Structure 1
């Protein structure tokens, strides 16, 4: 399974929200993510992809859309 599909599946499992048609929409504004949800998402992403997401990388504007989350995971896997 590719990263994009896996991220969509993780968000769907955690928040009961299919974001596949809203990959560029702000997930905070859409009510999908909040501060606690972000923590849950980070833990799941780190576990699933065997990466470490630095707190400094978790600014709301950096990881606020599905596509930004996918790109962030790709960058951390290639670091």
Structure 2
């Protein structure tokens, strides 16, 4: 599986939302993510991809869409 499909699967599993057709939609505005959901998502991403997401790097505007989350994971994996 690639990062994109794994991130989509994590979001679907955690929040029961298929966002594959809404890759650039703000997940907070859409009601998919909230503060607790963000924590759950970070924990899952860190576990699944063996990365550490620094709190300073997880700004709402930096990780608010599925495409931005995928890009952030890929960047941290390549760091």
TM-score category (smaller protein) = over 0.9
Deviation at 1:67, TM superposition (A): 0.1
Structure 1 unaligned regions, length at least 5: none
1:27-46 to 2 correspondence within 5 Å?
A: 27-46=27-46
Q: Which residue of 1 aligns with 2:74?
A: 74
Structure 2 unaligned regions, length at least 5: none
Q: Which residue of 2 aligns with 1:8?
A: 8
Does residue 59 (structure 1) correspond to residue 78 (structure 2)? The answer is no
Deviation at 1:18, TM superposition (A): 0.3
Please tell me the root mean square deviation across aligned C-alpha atoms, in Å: 0.3
Moved >6 Å (runs of 4+): none
Deviation at 1:30, TM superposition (A): 0.3
2: distance between equivalents of 1:59 and 1:74?
Answer: 16
How many aligned positions are there? 79
Q: Which residue of 1 aligns with 2:47?
A: 47
2: distance between equivalents of 1:76 and 1:33?
Answer: 21
